[in-house]
């Protein structure tokens, strides 16, 4: 069946290091892949997305990489800061279905 999943439920990194959060997907028909950040007590917030015909997209301190060969998506956060501590979700979007399917989430913990 269709699924969007994350490899690890918790990721702990040192402040200042780079973080890499991974996501595997199974539906090749997705049109976009999206990363959301959810801080404690808040709803998910859009971080960055990537169209399915792209390999890489960069934002402010974040980079998303898409490997369609192995159906793998990653979010890289440069110079991780305490404010990056949150749960990160990947999601897939299909234009025809006009809906998002979410992965289960990775909790990013920042060590001082």
Partner 1 sequence: DVKVTQSSRYLVKRTGEKVFLECVQDMDHENMFWYRQDPGLGLRLIYFSYDVKMKEKGDIPEGYSVSREKKERFSLILESASTNQTSMYLCASSLGGRGYTFGSGTRLTVV
Positions that interact with partner 1 (CB under 8 A): 9, 32, 34, 41-46, 49, 89, 93, 95, 98-100, 102-105
Q: Which is nearer to partner 1, 42 or 83 (CB)?
A: 42
72 vs 94, beta carbon nearer partner 1: 94
> Shortest gap between Cβ of 90 and partner 1 (angstroms)?
10
CB of 101 to partner 1, least distance (A): 8
State the residue for tokens 């997705």.
30
Which C-beta is closer to partner 1: that of 22 or that of 105?
105
Burial-class residue 37 by CB neighbours within 10 Å (0-12, 13-18, 19+). Answer: buried
Quick one: 79 or 95, whose CB is closer to partner 1?
Answer: 95
Closest separation between CB of residue 8 and partner 1, Å? 13
- Render 33-102 in DSSP notation, one character per residue: EEEEEE-TTS--EEEEEEETT-SEEE-SSEEEEEETTTTEEEEEESS--GGG-EEEEEEEEETTTTEEEE
């Amino acid at each position: 069946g269709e699924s969007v999943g994350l490899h690890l439920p918790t990721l702990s990194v040192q402040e200042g290091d780079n973080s890499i959060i991974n996501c595997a997907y199974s539906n090749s028909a997705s049109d976009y892949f999206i990363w959301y950040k959810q801080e404690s007590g808040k709803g998910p917030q859009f971080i960055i997305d990537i169209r399915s015909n792209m390999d890489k997209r960069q934002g402010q301190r974040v980079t998303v990489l898409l490997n369609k060969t192995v159906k793998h998506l990653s979010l890289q956060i440069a110079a991780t800061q305490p404010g990056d501590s949150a749960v990160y979700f990947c999601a897939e979007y299909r234009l025809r279905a006009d809906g998002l399917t979410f992965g289960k989430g990775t909790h990013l913990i920042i060590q001082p």
